[in-house]
Amino acid sequence: MAKVIKLKTHDGQDVSFVDEVKGQGGMKDVYFSPNKDYVVAFFRDRQDVGARERLIMIAETYRDRIYNQEGGAYWKDLFCWPTAVVEHQGRLGVVAPFYSQNFFFSVGSRNGDSLGIKGKEKEGKWFASANLRSTRIDPKELGDWSTHIKICLMIARSVRRLHAAGLAHSDLSYKNVLVDPSRGAACLIDLDGLVVPGKIPPQVAGTPDFIDPLVMMTQKLPLSDPKRVLPSNKTDQHALAVLIYMYLLYRHPLRGPKVHDEDSQRDEELSMGERALWIEHPSDVSNKIRPKDLRPSVIPWADPAKMSYKVTGPLLAPLFERAFATGLHSPSHRPSANEWEDALVKTVDLLQPCSNSSCGQKWYVFDNTTSPACPFCGTPYHGALPVMNFYSSHKVGSYRDDKHRLMVYSNQSLFPWHMFKNVSPNEKLPESMRKRLGYFVLHNGKWWMKNETMPALWDAANKAQIPVGGQIELTDGLQLLNKEPDGRLIVVQMARS
């Protein structure tokens, strides 16, 4: 039986670990605590003084800034943040929480877990590949398109928080993000590699598929060369866009058929670096996917002609264009994590359930047409479809379009962030503002909105109050006004098939 090693952390905490390697990453050996409630990970190579100082700042200074501020408890499930720094037998290490159980496969792969991955970490690559999804992973593990949207939202929100703290992840990829598609959950890991301002940045370029093209182009230059591009929030922005694209479309945005050099290594450097080109570039089609090269198991996802990035909706599609057309080689044009978060929050409100019970994705984004249909299985929507358009007042008697809509379906809910212009559903939202205010039902062919807790909700055109506990039929052009301070105006639009 392996012995238990007891240590004091840099800040005086007592920790212990079982002296048996339970996992290995690219740079560290991982050991479990006796109760498996945390891990101790030691770097295999000797770390210098700068690395030690950087780790202490991550585990102490920045951890305190993230967790001991308003909304700090929210990040417990989204970050696997180092809690302390340790040293043992000349090796530097970090203490970190054990991953939540839902980030381990409960069923695993198809055919009775033929790959033997049950109980292993849900590394994101399993869910970002059309081939692995359709031929390897058990369908019970896959979730649906709405949970993938939520995964992307959790990742974008986490990256936004890091950047707001002045940090960068440096190696954002599906290896360093655990996901749970069955719940729409995500957790950023390996945070001991964070780029800390003023300290020596990690000497890692990143993970293949997610490396910034500018980093790829300059990675052979000396670290001291001012032309060398090092990990930063801009490189994170590229990796974040790739992650979101892959989790929603199950293909890589840059891996197309174009060959730049007969030498495979040089071709990789060019295709992911200097000559990187989006497979869906609107004007340069030289890297466009050739359907004849695709296996049946990856159709339609691997073929943009059949499953365009535009299925992600009117808010996400323009961000992909900025990330991969204008911003691929020009970092200043890349969408920020905050922009992705805002677009994803609003895209959640644009989701519509597919009426086909056999549809694998189950949800799709309303495409603003009068005849909406699921792009994944082709099933059209039948009947009247209410759309709630939100407006905010910026001066008395004047309302401005918030570019925010809510699709209605049976038992869809209204929340404070729908009814008030100054409320956002993020980590700072108090519990009192997370409760449902109203909901929608379809009854006898008519759509109704039930007012559960809104004391100042009015039918604006008819100047009639809708009391708490009351309801109103949704008709085209109906205007609902929340007369509370900072309340919104809602204009109902009825789409019909």
Q: What is the pLDDT of residue 26?
A: 75
Q: What is the mean pLDDT of the chain?
A: 93
pLDDT at 223: 82
Percentage, residues of the chain above pLDDT 90: 84
Q: What is the pLDDT of residues 121-140, one digit of tens each?
A: 999 999 999 999 999 999 99
Tell me the mean pLDDT in the region 104-113.
96
pLDDT band for position 206 (cuts 50, 70, 90): confident
Q: For residue 185, what pLDDT is reported? A: 96
pLDDT (mean) for 51-79: 93
252-307 pLDDT tens trace: 999 999 999 999 999 999 999 999 999 999 999 999 999 999 999 999 999 999 99
Amino acid letter, 377: C
206: alpha, beta or left? (left if phi > 0; alpha if psi -120 to 50):
left
Interior/surface letters 250-281, b for 16+ CB within 10 angstroms, e for the rest: bbbbbebebebeeeeeeeebbbbbebbbbbbb
pLDDT band, residue 370 (cuts 50/70/90):
low
Instruction: Say how far apart CA 107 and CA 102 lie, in whole Å.
Output: 11
pLDDT of residue 496 exceeding 80, the answer is: no
pLDDT-based confidence at residue 366 (cuts at 50, 70, 90): confident
Q: pLDDT digit string (tens) for 219-241?
A: 889 888 889 998 899 999 999 99
Q: Determine the pLDDT at residue 198.
A: 75
Q: How far is CA 374 from CA 151, 353, 404, in A?
A: 21, 9, 21
Q: Catalogue all structural domains in the chain, each as residue range(s) with its CATH number.
A: 4-98 (3.30.200.20), 108-349 (1.10.510.10), 383-496 (2.60.200.20)
| pLDDT > 90? residue 200 | no
Identify the CA nearest to 245 among candidates 234, 233, 253, 236: 253
pLDDT at site 429: 93
CA atoms within 13 A on the CB side of 132: 19
pLDDT confidence tier of residue 394, bands split at 50, 70 and 90: confident
Give CA separation, 303 vs 152, 255, 448, in Å.
Answer: 21, 12, 40
Q: Residue 389 CB: number of other CB atoms within 10 A?
A: 17
How does residue 202 score in pLDDT terms, banded at 50, 70 and 90? low
Give the residue-averaged pLDDT of 146-170. 96
Q: According to the model, what pLDDT value does residue 8 have? A: 93
pLDDT for residue 193 is more than 90? no
The average pLDDT across 56-66 equals: 94
pLDDT at 369: 66
Position 67 scores a pLDDT of 95
- Average confidence (pLDDT) over 385-393: 94
pLDDT band with cut points at 50, 70 and 90 for residue 382? confident
* Predicted pLDDT of residue 70: 87
Query: CA-based angle 133:109:185, to the nearest 5?
Result: 65
